[in-house]
Structure 1
Amino acid sequence: IHKNVDDLSNRGKIRKTTSREENVIVNLFNQNPSLTLDKAQKKLSKKGIKISRITIRNRLCEYDIKHRSTLLKPLLTDVQVKKRMEWAQENLNQDWDNVIFTDEASFWLSTSTKRVGCVKGKKLIQRTVKHPGKIHVWGCFNRRGFGKLLIFKQNLDAKFMKEIYQRALIPSPDEWFGKGNRDWLLQEDNDPKNRSRLSSMWKEENDVQTLGWPSQSPDANPIENVWALMKMKLQGVIIKNQIHLARKIREIWRHLPVQYAETLVESMPRRCQAILSNNGDWTSY
């Protein structure tokens, strides 16, 4: 498993909700952000909108609605809070249309097993993988769409990061901005492999400019929403092995619509403002 995705087609399944129904969903959660999916499903059903909880979650992700379960996040240091505040202030009016967001994520076989509902008086049955494994992915996107996706099993170090830049990063802006055009900014976190001498030299030699990024700030990176959406879409799918998992991941990535990329990029000013409003602390993104 070591290939990138070249087919960026946005063709997918017939949409299960209309524009009117999606407006109802958005308004429902805007009025009550802490509403559970179960209660939302019941309220929507009373309005004649009969859809699954998964479909509701899909629409919340697509419209960047702040419906989040409580997560345990590490305590930010005073220095990290200060850096986040400075970054948010500096980038409040950033031209996000020319930023390429990147990140890597891991997908486990055990998190992609089919879940079977529990009927009262009967046991809950859940299919599991006897020897769960994982694969890693690296992806990028811009307002213009989703770029290359690289799927791999090896650990991601500085040497392999350089290969990713060449094989998966560069082809995407070449398509979006024109071959050889470097009028864009690369967003990546502060992981050591991204700041290594090897990575820094490659970016300098290839005239790739980076966007400064504060540490401990996954809530500021919209690609985290993409990974969450993809993992959610894998729930309920019976995955046979790593090859099958990789195929499903590529399929989901290939069908992510440009409109979703636009929505995420448009959320960046709000993310910056949320950090400022929270005095540098974690936001709900």
Structure 2
Amino acid sequence: MERIPNLKKFTLSRYANKFSPGRVTANPGRKAVLSVTTKSYIRKQIVNGTLKTAKAVHKYLVCTGHAISYSGTIKVMKSMNFHAKIKVKKPLLTKVQKARRLAWAEEHKNWTSDDWRRMVFSDETKVNVYGSDGCKYYWSRPDDKLQPHHLDLTVKGGGGSIMVRGCITYDGPGYTCWISEGTMKASDYVGILARQWFKDNNFKCDHTFNWPSQSPDLNPIEYIWHHLKLKLSAYDTRAKGVHELWNRVEKEWSTFTAEDS
């Protein structure tokens, strides 16, 4: 019909209704809740971070006159290929800290392998009697009942924890020591560390390495901490207290080799 020249669609439809009254027409279906333009705008706002959550998207749509439920908003977002994910935790950085990190990277970008071989990377971490502070998951089917192994069991006070200090070198892991129970401020353990390792190994102040604050992701020892905690989580039973936990830390730390670091 559209290929017939000099005839409007209205005229063609009028003749079709007159001479073919029983013809079957296609069902146009339900009108879309959101227009292509609205979806495009939402997509842009999600990507640039203006709309950060499904609730924010739903609130925007309701405020702009769209009759849509929260579950409907989620369906729309999924149809646009957006899927909810757990945010990756990173240190909160100020402009000054970002500038110092960049300056540090620029200063050392031309270092050779031999330069890095001379470095000792040191750091501390908290180890919990009752496992990680992070998110935990379990797998189940939609109709499965909640089971004991689906729960992340907690105890009042957290069950205890220890702060552990360690270091790694090119030749493998170095010392590790238990510096306190629970958490502690940097000023609390500077003296302990100086007496226990740096002073004992004849290190002077000019041997220390300038390090930008809030930069744990630049320290390769984070990889070792991760694997240490994986080893501790593989035990069939939890440690009965902080002393048994420290014994396990010492044992597992001693299993690391140069290949691990």
Please give the range of the TM-score, normalised by the shorter of the 2 chains: 0.5 to 0.7
Q: Say what the alpha-carbon RMSD is for the aligned residues.
A: 2.9
Pick the aligned partner of 2:128 from 97, 101, 108. 108
Q: Say whether 1:78 aligns with 2:95.
A: yes
User: SS state of the match for residue 76, structure 1?
Assistant: coil
How many equivalent residue pairs?
161
Unaligned runs of 5+ in 2: 1-85
Distance 1:105 1:219 in 2: 13
Distance 2:215 2:179 in 1: 25
Q: Against the structure 1 CA distance between its residues 75 and 152, is the aligned structure 2 distance closer, same or farther, given a 3 Å change threshold?
A: closer
The one-letter code of the counterpart of 2:258 is V
Matches within 5 A, 1:42-81: 70-81=87-98
User: SS state of the match for residue 259, structure 1?
Assistant: coil
The one-letter code of the counterpart of 2:250 is R
The one-letter code of the counterpart of 1:255 is T
| 8 A contact 1:109–1:129 mirrored in 2 | no
Distance 2:147 2:139 in 1: 5
Distance 1:141 1:168 in 2: 13
Q: Against the structure 1 CA distance between its residues 73 and 112, is the aligned structure 2 distance closer, same or farther, given a 3 Å change threshold?
A: closer
Other-structure match for 2:148? 125
Other-structure match for 2:207? 209
Distance 2:176 2:163 in 1: 10
TM-score by length of 1: 0.49
Distance 2:179 2:213 in 1: 25
Q: Say whether 1:165 aligns with 2:190.
A: no
User: SS state of the match for residue 90, structure 1?
Assistant: helix
Other-structure match for 1:252? 252
Distance 1:165 1:83 in 2: 25
Distance 1:129 1:244 in 2: 19
Matches within 5 A, 1:1-285: 70-94=87-111, 95-111=115-131, 120=141, 121-126=144-149, 128=153, 130-131=155-156, 132-154=159-181, 155=184, 158=187, 160-170=189-199, 174=201, 180=202, 203-204=204-205, 208-237=206-235, 238-239=237-238, 240-261=240-261
TM-score by length of 2: 0.53
Q: Against the structure 1 CA distance between its residues 111 and 89, is the aligned structure 2 distance closer, same or farther, given a 3 Å change threshold?
A: same
Quote the sequence identity (%).
Answer: 29
Q: Based on CA coordinates, which of the two structures has the bigger radius of gyration?
A: 2
Distance 2:140 2:253 in 1: 34
The one-letter code of the counterpart of 1:102 is S
| 8 A contact 1:109–1:241 mirrored in 2 | yes
User: SS state of the match for residue 148, structure 2?
Assistant: coil
Q: Against the structure 1 CA distance between its residues 73 and 123, is the aligned structure 2 distance closer, same or farther, given a 3 Å change threshold?
A: same
User: SS state of the match for residue 213, structure 1?
Assistant: coil
| 8 A contact 1:150–1:168 mirrored in 2 | no
Q: Which has the higher contact order (CA 8 A, sep 6+)?
A: 1
The one-letter code of the counterpart of 2:94 is T
Distance 2:216 2:121 in 1: 12
Unaligned runs of 5+ in 1: 1-68, 175-179, 183-202, 262-285
Distance 1:137 1:217 in 2: 18
Q: 1:72 offset after TM fit, Å?
A: 2.9
